[in-house]
Amino acid sequence: MSYFRELPDLNYQSPLKTKHSSNAYVRVKNLFRRVKLRDDLHNSFTQFNKYYIPDGSRPDIVAEELYGSADLDWVVCITAGIININNDWPLSSRDIYRFAESKYGLDLNNMHHYETTLVKNSDGKTILPAGMVVDSTFTMVNPDSPTYANITPVPVVGISNYEYEVKINEEKRSIYVLRREYLQQYLNDMRSIMYYDKSSQFVNRRLIETENTRNTSP
């Protein structure tokens, strides 16, 4: 089952100049009909598994692995909150290098920013987490000083433009996917949402008829 095959149809008044009459219609998919995960499902972590997208994988490959059908790639995307596949899905290692090289050119390995390293006190308690964006000259109060008066430099690490893009890309690899035992319930809900309610445009549950407001009489 593909996503577009599940979309309901529109009988849309033809805008073509070769149409035989103003009542000629063309049947098209209703791309304005959208599906989202039910709120009670979305808020229930028991119905999801955390999934790490392998390097070079695609939604259809993940769908085949999880649900036994590559056609359910849209389920992977919707339940993971992926709207724009080009922006939200992680690139392969080769593609992220090409992307960064194209974006930064000769500045690929220049410094993008600095981040803190992990700092603990003498008791082993974390007082400064790693990964905070700071200046290269960042300092902090020495946690083991009795008066907390001593200022000490904190080791920071430089992040290059390329490393920054890799880090952003890697963060996209961790997603939540619908557990297989809830798949059929989700598909049933999706089909129900796709049905049309009765209205002046209603033809059947899978078809409505609408006019092209741009058409004008000759």
Taking only the tens place, the pLDDT of each residue in 143-166 is: 666 555 555 667 899 999 999 999
Residues 124 and 81 in one domain: no
What's the predicted TM-score (pTM) here?
Answer: 0.73
Give a yes or no: residue 217 inside a domain: no
Q: In what order do the strands lie in the sheet with 111-116?
A: 133-134, 111-116, 156-160
Q: Strand, coil or helix: what is 191?
A: helix
Residue with tokens 């724009």: 84
Taking only the tens place, the pLDDT of each residue in 101-133 is: 999 999 999 999 999 998 888 888 888 899 999
Average pLDDT over residues 28-52: 70
Residues 122 and 82 in one domain: no
Average pLDDT over residues 31-46: 62
Give a yes or no: residue 146 inside a domain: yes
Instruction: Categorize the per-residue pLDDT at 62 as very low, low, confident or very high, splitting at 50, 70 and 90.
Output: very high
Residues 52 and 79 in one domain: yes
Do residues 207 and 28 make contact, with C-beta atoms less than 8 angstroms apart? no
| Rounded percentage of the chain residues whose pLDDT exceeds 90 | 44
Residues 106 and 200 in one domain: no
What's the residue count for the chain?
218
Taking only the tens place, the pLDDT of each residue in 172-191 is: 999 999 999 989 988 888 77
Which residue has better confidence, 60 or 186? 60
Q: What pLDDT is attached to residue 216?
A: 46
Residues 132 and 100 in one domain: yes
Residues 56 and 106 in one domain: no
* Helices 93-104 and 161-171, axial angle in degrees (round to 10): 140
Residues 126 and 112 in one domain: yes
Residues 80 and 101 in one domain: no
Do residues 91 and 53 make contact, with C-beta atoms less than 8 angstroms apart? no
Average pLDDT over residues 76-94: 93
Give a yes or no: residue 153 inside a domain: yes
Note down the domain range covering 116: 96-169
Q: What pLDDT is attached to residue 41?
A: 57
Instruction: Categorize the per-residue pLDDT at 141 as very low, low, confident or very high, splitting at 50, 70 and 90.
Output: confident
Q: What pLDDT is attached to residue 3?
A: 66
Looking at the predicted structure, is the pLDDT value of residue 19 above 60?
no
Give a yes or no: residue 118 inside a domain: yes
Give a yes or no: residue 61 inside a domain: yes
Give a yes or no: residue 19 inside a domain: yes
Residues contacting 147, CB < 8 A, separation 6+: none
Residues 13 and 72 in one domain: yes
The least confident of 8-12, 94-98, 149-153 is 149-153
Question: How high is the mean pLDDT of the chain?
Answer: 81
Q: Is the dihedral of CA 91, 96, 102, 104 positive or negative?
A: positive
Average pLDDT over residues 16-45: 63
Give a yes or no: residue 46 inside a domain: yes
Looking at the predicted structure, is the pLDDT value of residue 193 above 80?
no
Residues 70 and 176 in one domain: yes
- Dist. CA 89–CA 173, nearest whole Å: 8
Q: Structurally, how many domains does the chain consist of?
A: 2
Residues 103 and 177 in one domain: no
Residues 66 and 28 in one domain: yes
- Dist. CA 187–CA 194, nearest whole Å: 11
Give a yes or no: residue 194 inside a domain: yes
Q: What pLDDT is attached to residue 170?
A: 97
